[in-house]
Structure 1
Amino acid sequence: MKKIIQIARLELSLLFYSPIAWLLIIVLITQLNLAFMPGIPGLVQGGTFGFLTTIYANVPDKTNLLTQILEYLYLYIPLITMGIISKETSSGSIKLLYSSPVKLSQVIYGKFISMLIYNLVIIGILVLFMLIGAVFFVNFDYPHALVGLLAIFLLLSAYAAIGIFVSSLTTYQAVAAISTFVMLAFMNYIGTLGQDLDFIRDLTHSLSMPSRTERMIAGLLNTRDVIYYVVISGMFLAFTITKLELERLSRSFLQQASRYALILLVGLSIAYVSSRQPMIGYYDATATKTNTITKVSQEILKNMGEEPIEVTTYVNGLDDSYFRGAPIERISNIARWESYLRFKPNIKLKWVYYYDSVPGVTPQLIEQKVSFNKYVTIMADLQQIDITDFLSPQELKAQVDLRGESARLVMQLKYKGKTTFLRTFPAPDNQFWPSEAETGAALKRLIVTAPKLVFATDGYQRSMDKMGDRDYKVLANSKYSRSSLVNQGFDVDSVSLERNEIPKDIAALIIADPRVEFTAVAKTKLQKYIADGGNLMIAGEPGKQNVVNSLLDSLGVQMLNGTIVQKSRDYSFDLVTPSLAAGAVAMDKSLQQFYMYKMVVSMPNAGALSYVPQGGFSVHPLLMSDAQTSWIKKGKFVLDSATLVVDHIKGDQEGSFPTALMLTRNVKNKEQRIIVSADADFFSNTELSRNNLQTLNVNFAMSIFRWFSYGEFPIDTSRPASKDNMTTLIKDYVKPIQILYYFIIPGVIFLVGLILLIRRKRK
Structure 2
Amino acid sequence: MKKIIQIARLELSLLFYSPVAWLLTITLFVQLSLMFMGAMPALTGGQDLSFLTSSIFTDLQKIGILSQMLEHLYLYIPLITMGIISRELSSGSIKLLYSSPVKLSQVIYGKFISMLAFNFVIIMVMAFFVLLGAWHVPNFDFPHIIIALLAIYLLLSAYAAIGIFVSSLTTYQAVAAISTFVMLAFMNYIGTVGQDLDFIRDLTHSLSMPSRTERMIAGLLNSRDVIYYLVIAGMFLAFTITKLELERLSRTAFQQAIRYVGILIIGLTIAYLSSRQPLIGYYDATATKVNTITRASQEILKKIGDGPIEVTEYINGLDGSYFNSTPAMRIPNIARWEPYFRFKPNINLKWVYYYDSVPGITPHLIEQKMSYKQYVNFMVNVNELDLGNFSTAKELAQQADLRGEDARLVMQLRYKGKSTFLRTFPPPDQKFWPSETETAAALKRLTTTPPKLVFATDGYQRSMDKMGDRDYKILANNKASRYSLINQGFDVDSVSLEHNEIPKDIAALIIADPRVEFTAKAKAKLQRYIREGGNLMIAGEPGKQNVINPLLDSLGVQMLNGTIVQKSRDYSYDLLTPALAPGAVAMDKGLQQYYSYKMIVSMPSAGALSYSTNGIFNAHPLLMSDAQSTWLKKGKIVLDSAALEFDPVKGDQQGSFPTALMLTRKARNKEQRIIVTADADFFNNMELNRSNMRTLNSAFAMSMFRWFSYGEFPVDASRPLSKDNSTTLTKESIMPLQVLCYGVLPGVLFLTGLIILIRRKRK
Aligned partner of 2:338: which letter? E
Aligned CA distance change for structure 1 residues 579 and 393 (closer, same or farther; 3 Å) = same
| CA–CA distance in structure 2, aligned partners of residues 292 and 663 of structure 1 | 38
Q: Is the contact made by 1:39 and 1:58 (CA closer than 8 Å) also made in structure 2?
A: no
| CA–CA distance in structure 2, aligned partners of residues 61 and 499 of structure 1 | 55
The answer to whether the aligner puts 1:747 opposite 2:736 as a matched pair is no
Q: Is the contact made by 1:39 and 1:57 (CA closer than 8 Å) also made in structure 2?
A: no
Q: Is the contact made by 2:277 and 2:341 (CA closer than 8 Å) also made in structure 1?
A: yes
Q: Is the contact made by 1:558 and 1:610 (CA closer than 8 Å) also made in structure 2?
A: yes
Residue 583 of structure 1 and its aligned partner are, at CA, apart by 0.4
Residue 369 of structure 1 and its aligned partner are, at CA, apart by 6.0
Q: Is the contact made by 1:45 and 1:726 (CA closer than 8 Å) also made in structure 2?
A: no
**Which position in structure 1 is the counterpart of 2:381?**
381
Identify the range of structure 1 (747-756 vs 644-653) with the bigger mean alpha-carbon deviation: 644-653
| CA–CA distance in structure 1, aligned partners of residues 115 and 541 of structure 2 | 75
Residue 651 of structure 1 and its aligned partner are, at CA, apart by 1.4
**Which position in structure 1 is the counterpart of 2:435?**
435
Q: Is the contact made by 1:20 and 1:80 (CA closer than 8 Å) also made in structure 2?
A: yes
1:196-235 correspondence runs (5 A): 196-235=196-235
| CA–CA distance in structure 2, aligned partners of residues 404 and 198 of structure 1 | 31
Residue 38 of structure 1 and its aligned partner are, at CA, apart by 2.8
**Which position in structure 2 is the counterpart of 1:738?**
738
| CA–CA distance in structure 2, aligned partners of residues 406 and 61 of structure 1 | 31
Aligned partner of 1:155: which letter? L
| CA–CA distance in structure 1, aligned partners of residues 305 and 518 of structure 2 | 48
| CA–CA distance in structure 2, aligned partners of residues 718 and 570 of structure 1 | 34
Q: Is the contact made by 1:39 and 1:59 (CA closer than 8 Å) also made in structure 2?
A: no
Q: Is the contact made by 2:46 and 2:729 (CA closer than 8 Å) also made in structure 1?
A: no
Identify the range of structure 1 (387-396 vs 344-353) with the bigger mean alpha-carbon deviation: 387-396
**Which position in structure 2 is the counterpart of 1:31?**
31
Give the total of aligned pairs. 763
Segments of structure 1 that go 5 or more residues without pairing to the other structure are: none
**Which position in structure 1 is the counterpart of 2:298?**
298
| CA–CA distance in structure 2, aligned partners of residues 158 and 429 of structure 1 | 41
The answer to whether the aligner puts 1:349 opposite 2:349 as a matched pair is yes
**Which position in structure 2 is the counterpart of 1:404?**
404
The answer to whether the aligner puts 1:53 opposite 2:35 as a matched pair is no
TM-score of the aligned structures, taking structure 2 as reference length: 0.98
| CA–CA distance in structure 2, aligned partners of residues 318 and 716 of structure 1 | 35
Aligned partner of 2:483: which letter? S
Residue 61 of structure 1 and its aligned partner are, at CA, apart by 8.6
**Which position in structure 1 is the counterpart of 2:539?**
539
Identify the range of structure 1 (371-380 vs 315-324) with the bigger mean alpha-carbon deviation: 371-380
Residue 4 of structure 1 and its aligned partner are, at CA, apart by 0.3
Give SS of 2:458's match: coil
**Which position in structure 1 is the counterpart of 2:501?**
501
| CA–CA distance in structure 2, aligned partners of residues 749 and 436 of structure 1 | 48
1:189-200 correspondence runs (5 A): 189-200=189-200
Residue 135 of structure 1 and its aligned partner are, at CA, apart by 2.2
**Which position in structure 1 is the counterpart of 2:593?**
593
**Which position in structure 1 is the counterpart of 2:315?**
315
Residue 49 of structure 1 and its aligned partner are, at CA, apart by 1.4
| CA–CA distance in structure 2, aligned partners of residues 402 and 490 of structure 1 | 19
**Which position in structure 2 is the counterpart of 1:340?**
340
Q: Is the contact made by 1:36 and 1:58 (CA closer than 8 Å) also made in structure 2?
A: no
Aligned CA distance change for structure 1 residues 58 and 734 (closer, same or farther; 3 Å) = farther
Give SS of 2:312's match: strand
Residue 634 of structure 1 and its aligned partner are, at CA, apart by 1.3
**Which position in structure 2 is the counterpart of 1:252?**
252
| CA–CA distance in structure 2, aligned partners of residues 136 and 371 of structure 1 | 63
Superposed CA offset, 1:699-753 (max 9, x none) = 0011000000000000101111001112333554332222112111111111110
Aligned partner of 1:111: which letter? K
**Which position in structure 2 is the counterpart of 1:289?**
289
**Which position in structure 1 is the counterpart of 2:5?**
5
Residue 371 of structure 1 and its aligned partner are, at CA, apart by 3.8
Q: Is the contact made by 1:86 and 1:168 (CA closer than 8 Å) also made in structure 2?
A: yes
| CA–CA distance in structure 2, aligned partners of residues 218 and 703 of structure 1 | 32
| CA–CA distance in structure 1, aligned partners of residues 439 and 669 of structure 2 | 32
CA RMSD of aligned residues (A): 1.4
| CA–CA distance in structure 1, aligned partners of residues 214 and 572 of structure 2 | 50
| CA–CA distance in structure 1, aligned partners of residues 292 and 535 of structure 2 | 35
Aligned CA distance change for structure 1 residues 124 and 677 (closer, same or farther; 3 Å) = same
Name the % identity: 75
Residue 60 of structure 1 and its aligned partner are, at CA, apart by 14
| CA–CA distance in structure 1, aligned partners of residues 11 and 200 of structure 2 | 40
| CA–CA distance in structure 2, aligned partners of residues 458 and 65 of structure 1 | 60
Q: Is the contact made by 1:42 and 1:60 (CA closer than 8 Å) also made in structure 2?
A: no
Residue 633 of structure 1 and its aligned partner are, at CA, apart by 1.4
The answer to whether the aligner puts 1:158 opposite 2:155 as a matched pair is no
Superposed CA offset, 1:220-253 (max 9, x none) = 0000000000000000101111111111111111
Q: Is the contact made by 1:168 and 1:240 (CA closer than 8 Å) also made in structure 2?
A: yes
| CA–CA distance in structure 2, aligned partners of residues 614 and 509 of structure 1 | 25
**Which position in structure 1 is the counterpart of 2:97?**
97
**Which position in structure 2 is the counterpart of 1:110?**
110
Give SS of 1:627's match: coil
**Which position in structure 2 is the counterpart of 1:279?**
279
Segments of structure 2 that go 5 or more residues without pairing to the other structure are: none
Aligned partner of 1:55: which letter? S
**Which position in structure 2 is the counterpart of 1:127?**
127
Aligned CA distance change for structure 1 residues 59 and 435 (closer, same or farther; 3 Å) = closer
Q: Is the contact made by 1:621 and 1:662 (CA closer than 8 Å) also made in structure 2?
A: yes
| CA–CA distance in structure 2, aligned partners of residues 498 and 610 of structure 1 | 28
Aligned partner of 1:710: which letter? Y
| CA–CA distance in structure 1, aligned partners of residues 651 and 720 of structure 2 | 47
Give SS of 1:558's match: strand
Q: Is the contact made by 2:58 and 2:148 (CA closer than 8 Å) also made in structure 1?
A: no
Superposed CA offset, 1:262-303 (max 9, x none) = 111111111111011111100000000000000000000000
Q: Is the contact made by 1:314 and 1:352 (CA closer than 8 Å) also made in structure 2?
A: yes
Aligned partner of 1:141: which letter? D
Q: Is the contact made by 1:39 and 1:60 (CA closer than 8 Å) also made in structure 2?
A: no
Superposed CA offset, 1:676-696 (max 9, x none) = 000000100011111111111
